[in-house]
Amino acid sequence: MTDAAARAFQVDLHGVVDLLARHLYSGPRVYLRELLQNGVDAITARRAVDPGCPATVRLRPLADGSLLVVDSGVGLTRAEAEELLATVGRSSKRDLDLGVGREEFLGQFGIGLLSAFMVADRIELVSRSARDPQAPAVRWRGHADGSYDLVELPDADVPPGSTVRLRPRRDLEHWLAGETVAALAAEFGSLLPVDVAVEVPLGSGASAAPVDEVADAPPAADALPADGAPRPGHAWRRVSEPEAPWARAYPDEAARARALARYCEQTFGFTPLAHVDLAVPLAGVSGVAFVLPAAVPPGGGGSHRVYLKRMLLGARVEGLLPEWAFFVRCVIDASGLRPTASREQLYTDEVLLATQEALADAVRSWTLRTLESSTALARQFVATHHLAVRSLALTDDTMLDLAARILPYETTDGTLTLAEVAAEHGQVVYAPTLEEYKRIAPVARAQGVAVVNAGYVYDADLLARLAARGPGRGLGEVRPLGAGDIAQVLAPVTPERELATLDAVRAGGEVLRPLDTELVLRTFEPAELPAVLLHDRDGDHQRDLRAAMAEADDVWSDVLAGFAAPAAARQLVLNDASTLVRDLLDAPPGEVTAAGLRSLYVSALLLSGEPLRARDAELMTGSMSVLLRAGLRGGGGGVRADGGAAGWTGADDEAAGGPAGEERA
Ligand SMILES: Nc1ncnc2c1ncn2[C@@H]1O[C@H](COP(=O)(O)OP(=O)(O)OP(=O)(O)O)[C@@H](O)[C@H]1O
């Protein structure tokens, strides 16, 4: 028969501490949070039996490298210390018999104290119970090897509460040094509802702690009153605030806004554009969202500072707000949300989901209200965070309507809102990519067709959403630029006409070659517009276009060809419907026709919205000079300004590149 008697698990403390250090906590620094938390919880427990008890936690970095954490909490009897401190996973905070309900406490897992072994090789706790004043003080000492000892100190004059003393691990002394302790206490404990202070040397840095008698005193003497005076040459530096900055009383709203802006500067390092109050009573959440003063890359929902029961959970907690809310940084305190065991993330449950929704709602309502207000803040907000507005409009109908009314768009009619485009043209036609817009813009502009550039982040999706909703809501039909729009704009000439103009177009191509521009002949409306200049800035788009052409039927493929990658960087598309162009193509090639073509190039360049560079201006002057002289002499197309005969490119090819022809003539 086998021995079926139940036995207790043995715990290898090294393994557990290693697990905590490497896999649960983000680093050794959390040891201080766990100690603060135990102090605060002990005070909470004492308040249940002694409501008027002192509520202080004092941190004393000592000269021998150890650290004292003294609380005025409930303390422990020998039996409690035996049960609670020596059993991994045992916590008084789940135990309703010990006075208060679990939701009152910060701790719950019964492992927090062990985190001190990440920085200490010995944890000592000297304690006296406030519940049982007759019980003697006790001293519990736990060692990193997993052993502990527990003694009563019947003669010690120890006040109720506990004093934890950590002896640093070799090479990890810096974690217990004054400066580190002060910084960590301020980071984790600045909003704690009890009085937390660190003892620092007067008039010098916290690291310069002088040797003092307390360091070498016997253990019982270290159990100082938690509200005691500082040692000579030292002062208490308070790190906690009695009220969160957003919950404090201020003389007026302006004073509150200033104080919150200051808090934001200290906490996040920026002066906010505005603040949004946050409150989700269901989850005991309160706080503020600060609007960033500068644009940030979209997405991610930002990272936020989260306190649970006023203890810092994390300075960069993600997932609190939806993706579109990347323009705010929040600080919240929650009493109804739960931490994960590491206490560095929020535990996902229904309360968290409801909280996320409510917070998103608060930020969204503020945004809508602000944008509707047409104040200076609204203008500043749109100028800075228009991407966030666009992003929110992708999921939110109200914001979508608002976006159509307030967001400025680049259009071929100038900068307009979508509502303005619709009011003027009865519909909203948009180019979904920047390249498409750039190509179509000059032609559309010349024809008075309004095309909206939807090539920037979110815009194509935003306009597609508007398009999918169908006409109405004051925007008329919203639709992407279609094959029909393009075909109307640029149509190929007939094969006969193409043949007839082959030589002239080829000769013209030579004129434009030094300008890195190809010459193409199409026909389009209006006939008075002789030429448009198409740009090619994006090789990828051209590859896509070529692939599409390979698949497209003949007509569509021809149309696309008007936009397809020219060998050169640009294409000058001549309009065969224009009499000027027809005259130019019919004229015998020469310097005058070359000058005419260059003039068309410059005017098309102007029309495309590109700035005129010095070279282009010189080209214009040179061409005008040739045309003027030819006109004054009554010369024809093929007649050189100097009377000789020449091809389209003129006698000297440099003339094609600039004003050289004029100088030589
Ligand atoms: N300063 C203290 N005063 C009184 N009791 C304490 C103190 N520190 C620890 N204890 C007791 O020891 C128990 C274990 O503490 P520990 O920090 O390991 O876990 P916890 O605080 O209960 O939970 P968590 O792991 O979530 O922090 C506590 O539940 C508490 O009863």
SS3 282: helix
End-of-domain residue from the set 238, 264, 282? 238
Number of domains in the chain: 4
423 shares its domain with 546: no
Instruction: Report the pLDDT averaged over residues 569-574.
Output: 84
Ligand 1 lined by 61 (C-beta under 6 Å): no
Could you tell me if residue 26 is inside a domain? yes
Q: Encoding tokens for residue 163? A: 């004093």
If phi > 0 it is left, if psi is from -120 to 50 it is alpha, else beta; for residue 338 that is beta
The DSSP bridge pattern shows strands 56-61 and 148-153 to be unpaired
- Containing 366, the helix (H) or strand (E) segment is helix 350-372
Tens-digit pLDDT profile for residues 345-404: 899 999 999 999 999 999 999 999 999 998 999 999 999 999 999 999 999 999 999 999
Instruction: Report the pLDDT averaged over residues 214-222.
Output: 36
Tens-digit pLDDT profile for residues 223-250: 455 557 888 899 999 999 889 999 999 9
Please name the amino acid found at residue 182.
Answer: A
Q: What is the C-alpha separation between 650 and 591, in angstroms, rounded?
A: 5
Ligand 1 lined by 355 (C-beta under 6 Å): no
Tens-digit pLDDT profile for residues 410-466: 999 899 999 999 999 999 999 998 877 877 787 787 777 789 999 988 999 999 999
8 Å CB contact between 523 and 577: yes
Quick check: 587 pLDDT over 50? yes
Ligand 1 lined by 407 (C-beta under 6 Å): no
In the predicted model, what is the mean pLDDT of the chain? 84
230 shares its domain with 110: yes
Quick check: 5 pLDDT over 90? no
Quote the pLDDT of residue 656: 39
18 shares its domain with 160: yes
SS3 sequence of 521-568: EEECCCCCCCEEEEECCCHHHHHHHHHHHHHCCHHHHHHHHCCCCCCC
352 shares its domain with 422: no
421 shares its domain with 353: no
**Per-residue confidence band for 215, with pLDDT thresholds at 50, 70 and 90:** very low
Quote the pLDDT of residue 106: 81
Q: Which of 409, 352, 413, 61 is nearest to 234 (CA)?
A: 61
Which domain covers residue 480, as residue numbers? 408-487
Ligand 1 lined by 245 (C-beta under 6 Å): no
Quick check: 558 pLDDT over 50? yes
Residue 305 CA to ligand 1 center (angstroms) comes to 25
614 shares its domain with 582: yes
Residue 142 CA to ligand 1 center (angstroms) comes to 14
Q: What is the C-alpha separation between 333 and 347, in angstroms, rounded?
A: 15
448 shares its domain with 507: no
Q: What is the C-alpha separation between 650 and 652, in angstroms, rounded?
A: 6
Ligand 1 lined by 30 (C-beta under 6 Å): no
CATH of the domain at 319: 3.30.230.80
Quote the pLDDT of residue 227: 56
**Per-residue confidence band for 528, with pLDDT thresholds at 50, 70 and 90:** confident
Ligand 1 lined by 106 (C-beta under 6 Å): no
Main-chain dihedrals φ then ψ at residue 264, nearest 5 degrees: -65, -40
Tell me the β-bridge partners of 189. none
Q: Which atom of ligand 1 is nearest to the CA of 107?
A: 26
203 shares its domain with 173: yes
Could you tell me if residue 662 is inside a domain? no
Residue 112 CA to ligand 1 center (angstroms) comes to 7
pTM (2 d.p.)? 0.73
Instruction: Report the pLDDT averaged over residues 112-140.
Output: 94
Could you tell me if residue 511 is inside a domain? yes
Quote the pLDDT of residue 650: 44
Q: Ligand 1 atom 21: the closest Cα is on which residue?
A: 107
CATH of the domain at 608: 1.20.120.790
Q: Which of 102, 85, 29 is nearest to 309 (CA)?
A: 102
8 Å CB contact between 312 and 33: yes
Q: What is the C-alpha separation between 72 and 160, in angstroms, rounded?
A: 7
Q: Ligand 1 atom 10: the closest Cα is on which residue?
A: 38
End-of-domain residue from the set 186, 203, 238? 238
